[in-house]
Amino acid sequence: MILHFEDAILIDPEARTEAHGSLTVENGVISARDKPAPDGAKIVACRGKCLGPGIIDWGVKVGEPGERHKESYASAGRAAAAGGVTTMIVRPDTQPPVDSPESLDFVAKRAQDSIVRVRHMSALTKQRAGREMVEMAFLQDSGAVAFTDGVRVISDTRLMTRCLTYARGLGALIIGHPQEPILSKGAAATKGKFASLYGIPDVSPVAELMGLQHDLALVSMTGGRYHADQITTAAALPALRRAREAGLDVTAGISIHHLTLNEFDVGDYRTFFRFTPPLRAEEDRLAMVEAVAEGLIDVIASFHTPQDEESKRLPFAEAAPGAVGLQTLLPAALRLYHQGGLSLAQLFRALSLNPARRLGIEGGRISDGAAADLVLFDPDTPFVLDRFSLESKSKNTPFDEARMQGRVLGSWVGGRRVFG
């Protein structure tokens, strides 16, 4: 089948442009831009709406195995497609964790239920226990795109050094969670007047800086490839900048929730706003938006973490952290566009192009020869979010009943329409 998208605003993060044009797709691949429709092509009338590369959401939690009642690959795939996410990069923090070629093979087979592309990360240590490195080479051969223990910090410095050194020989990417584990243990808020007033266990932003400096020192020593999953405080940015200027192979990400919410959103102890790391001060949030615009922070992700009602109906500090985000990632990110903090091209660099480049996978481009993973969206349509309308099995979103602006009109994976 030949598809011809006409009358679209093409969002090209690679060229950093937003321009009116058309796109032709043949056999699941982009074959031409701004050319007349070929004979026999199926016309997709975009009517002046935005067409960009499908989002690559780096850090998605799916409940299989062990917590399928919270999220399955089928439900996550539907939520992703409805949110313009065409590739999910799935975390290994399942029950049991993905830490062996056999467990990776199991989730890869389960992922066939998804209507969008799925790539998997592996745990960095066996059982995510921080005591023994996984069989990294075998897991990489089995399809693991990166290695991480998620929010569990490896406190054994010698082990982390071995992991970075071994990964360097494989060209593998190590993902760290930059937090000092003792200071941040049990914290549900960022240290300050607000946390003290509400009586919530808190942690200083310095814990993030300490964790990042620790990891960067080991990267400098080993020459390994490293990605900080979430940088959320202004205090950590100078260390990240120095590492980049020194030529270290280091990148960083942030969750959309830390870019669009702050510590005051906790409000009436609503546990949908309980995150790891906790929400930060408004000054930190603004600094993070600037860091994304500059390119110091490379990746924006949802860190989709489904939790059932029982896990959230608890006192704030005891509630399970995290929120679903596959379906709300794009409309939430468009808040930054409407506020003037980021252009659409800058957003899609962080949402799509940069994840693809860092992980060495297909996606993030709308140039000739690229896979036709696409999202058509109207950035201006207003709506009020109803969490029960989400495709995810779990409904734990902080954006419930929030006014949002921007709707996905269609999603395509390899030229096949999966939403809209």
pLDDT in tens, 261-317: 999 998 788 999 999 999 999 999 999 999 999 999 999 999 999 999 999 999 999
- Name all domains of the chain by residue range, CATH numbers in brackets: 54-359 (3.20.20.140)
Q: Is the peptide bond before 96 cis (omega within 30 degrees of 0)?
A: yes
| pLDDT for the residue 166 | 97
The yes-or-no verdict on residue 194 having pLDDT over 90 is: no
The yes-or-no verdict on residue 227 having pLDDT over 90 is: yes
Q: Is the peptide bond before 201 cis (omega within 30 degrees of 0)?
A: no
| pLDDT for the residue 55 | 98
pLDDT, tens digit, 9 for 90 and up, residues 329-365: 999 999 999 999 999 999 999 999 999 999 999 999 9
The yes-or-no verdict on residue 1 having pLDDT over 90 is: no
Kindly report which listed range (43-47, 112-116, 264-268, 296-300) carries the lowest average pLDDT score. Answer: 264-268
| pLDDT for the residue 268 | 83
Q: State mean pLDDT over 364-369.
A: 96
Q: Is the peptide bond before 321 cis (omega within 30 degrees of 0)?
A: no
| pLDDT for the residue 13 | 98
Question: In angstroms, rounded to a whole number, what is the distance separating the alpha carbons of residues 48 and 37?
Answer: 17
Angle at 404 between CA 401 and CA 410, to 5 degrees: 115
- Contact by Cβ (8 Å): 66, 96: yes
| pLDDT for the residue 10 | 98
- Contact by Cβ (8 Å): 122, 175: no
Q: State mean pLDDT over 2-10.
A: 98
Q: What residues have CB less than 8 Å from 50, skipping those under 6 apart?
A: 8, 9, 11, 18, 344, 376, 377, 378, 379
Angle at 308 between CA 304 and CA 313, to 5 degrees: 115
Indicate the pTM of the whole model.
0.97
Kindly report which listed range (59-63, 204-208, 266-270) carries the lowest average pLDDT score. Answer: 266-270
Give percent of the chain above pLDDT 90.
97
SS3 255: strand
Question: In angstroms, rounded to a whole number, what is the distance separating the alpha carbons of residues 178 and 395?
Answer: 28
Strands (E), 13-145: 17-26, 29-33, 42-45, 50-53, 55-60, 85-90, 117-120
Give the N- to C-terminal CA distance of the chain in Å, as an integer: 18
Question: In angstroms, rounded to a whole number, what is the distance separating the alpha carbons of residues 262 and 169?
Answer: 40
| pLDDT for the residue 208 | 98
pLDDT band at 198 (very low <50, low <70, confident <90, very high): confident
Helix (H) or strand (E) holding 10: strand 2-12
Nearest to 53 by CA among 33, 68, 69: 33
In the predicted model, what is the mean pLDDT of the chain? 97
| pLDDT for the residue 267 | 79
| pLDDT for the residue 306 | 98
| pLDDT for the residue 197 | 87
